[in-house]
Amino acid sequence: MRRATAVILIVLCAGPLAACGDDPGEETTSTLRVYVSAPMKGGRGGEDTASAVKIAVENAGGTVDSAAIDVVALNDSAPDGAFDPKLVRDNALRAARDDRAIAYIGEFDSGGTELAMPILNRAGILHVSSGSTALKLTKPSPAEGERLRPTGVTTFGRVVPNDMVQAGALEEFMHQESVATAYVVDDGGTYGVGLRRLFEKAATATGIKVIEGPRVSARTEFGNLAEKISRADPNALLYAGSDLELAFSLFESVHRTNGHIKLFGGDGLALSGFLTTLGPIELDTYVTAPQLPAGNYARSGEDFLDGFRDEFGRDAEPMSVFGYEAGAAVMDSIRRGVRGDISTDAISTLRTGTREAFFDITERASPLGSYSIDVNGDTTLPFYGAYRVENGELVLGRTIDVPVSILQELDQ
């Protein structure tokens, strides 16, 4: 079992009675906490997600009425960047047991979110993800629903489009790249298994031939697998997964064996820590991701990216804009959810109000565009970016608005 790493605590206000927010003379009489659980190790960008939430809270004034809003950022990953199940559960339990916790932003990985969901659901805490895209998290089967939502109340939502949208974008991307046959593998995780299933359904419906490959793991003989893939003679390989080491080993072996095969991955690979390792492989790498390059966001998004660069002296991890929006949406939900006196209302009342306000989001103007949150907890944002990789960075080729017909096919 991996050992838990140190907790990172970001405090926006000094605590009760500290002045914080737009009015320096306004006193706060209570403190509420927003927890952020993200991968702080292994180049997964969790530090930037936590910083993005912090900036969003600061930009919203750092208070709601007379309550200071503190951000508590926790690491959920092992040194290699993979989410650690123990850390995920510990983080969720810490928030659930905190009678000042008002919301929880996490996890980046769908598998981690799957573990945290029932813990936070029992506590009635609004749970928002800026990166988990697996469809089962918002549209579970009846058995999965009982496990993920033990209270029967929906407490999880996300500001990133789900994998039904991403699978459709991958199919469209391949179609636009003249792919007729795709060899597909996954890494066995919640994200990878779900994305693979949805992509295969989308591809079959639109005429791309799918060759079903194996599940890959650290025990996979990638040289042998690459030979097998080459003999199958596909135009493209899709790696459905978020394990970056497996992705690199697979892509490198396939590229070395047959340089004519296009290498596709989803947003699980859209991380600087992975992209900068590709070297010559990047020429044949294609990635779908929901973020856009700087210069393509609404003003609030560009202001966030500029402010991050000014504060840290570097560009933010591309997906951090979703962390910023998650923080901003949570702050707005806390504010709109107050029914009485935020400093004296029971925490259960505040949690309920915040949760109901989030699920009532309608046509919210955001850095990502205008969106609503549907009854399942999904954003209505309909697009993904189709990217190539150049010099270790994502370069946008086009944005893909997934056709409604494909989404309807996948929703059946």
313 plus 328 within the same structural domain = yes
DSSP 218-253: TT--HHHHHHHHHHH--SEEEEE---HHHHHHHHHH
DSSP 107-136: -SSHHHHHHHHHHHHHHT-EEEESS---GG
Q: What does the alpha-carbon distance between residue 399 and residue 296 come to, in Å, rounded to a whole number? A: 11
The token pair at 91 is: 């983080």
Q: Provide, for the chain, the percentages of residues in helix, strand and coil under a 3-state DSSP scheme, each rounded to the nearest 5.
A: 40, 20, 40
Identify whether 2 is part of a domain.
no
* The residue to which tokens 């790493």 are assigned: 5
CATH number of the structural domain spanning residue 227: 3.40.50.2300
Q: What does the alpha-carbon distance between residue 215 and residue 239 come to, in Å, rounded to a whole number? A: 10
279 plus 189 within the same structural domain = yes
pLDDT tens digits, 134-172: 999 999 999 999 999 999 999 999 999 999 999 999 999
The domain tally of the chain equals 2
61 plus 146 within the same structural domain = yes
Rounded mean pLDDT, 63-77: 97
147 plus 63 within the same structural domain = yes
For every residue of 311-349, which 3-state class applies, written as one string? Answer: HHCCCCCCCHHHHHHHHHHHHHHHHHHCCCCCCCCCHHH
14 plus 153 within the same structural domain = yes
Identify whether 367 is part of a domain.
no
Residue 382 confidence (pLDDT): 87
Q: What does the alpha-carbon distance between residue 359 and residue 342 come to, in Å, rounded to a whole number? A: 20
12 plus 134 within the same structural domain = yes
Q: How far apart are the first and last CA of the chain?
A: 39
149 plus 190 within the same structural domain = no
| % of the chain at pLDDT higher than 90 | 84
pLDDT tens digits, 229-267: 999 999 999 999 999 999 999 999 999 999 999 999 999
Angle at 356 between CA 355 and CA 362, to 5 degrees: 110
Identify whether 308 is part of a domain.
yes
- Give the rounded distance of the alpha carbon of 212 from its chain centre: 26
Identify whether 264 is part of a domain.
yes
Q: Which of 184, 140, 146 is nearest to 162 (CA)?
A: 140
pLDDT band at 412 (very low <50, low <70, confident <90, very high): confident
* The residue to which tokens 């407490």 are assigned: 155
**pLDDT greater than 60 at residue 18:** no
pLDDT tens digits, 330-369: 999 999 999 999 999 999 999 999 999 999 999 999 998 8
Q: Tell me the pTM.
A: 0.89
Residue 292 confidence (pLDDT): 85
Residue 411 confidence (pLDDT): 87
154 plus 174 within the same structural domain = no
The whole domain housing 340 covers 8-160+295-358
170 plus 129 within the same structural domain = no
94 plus 107 within the same structural domain = yes
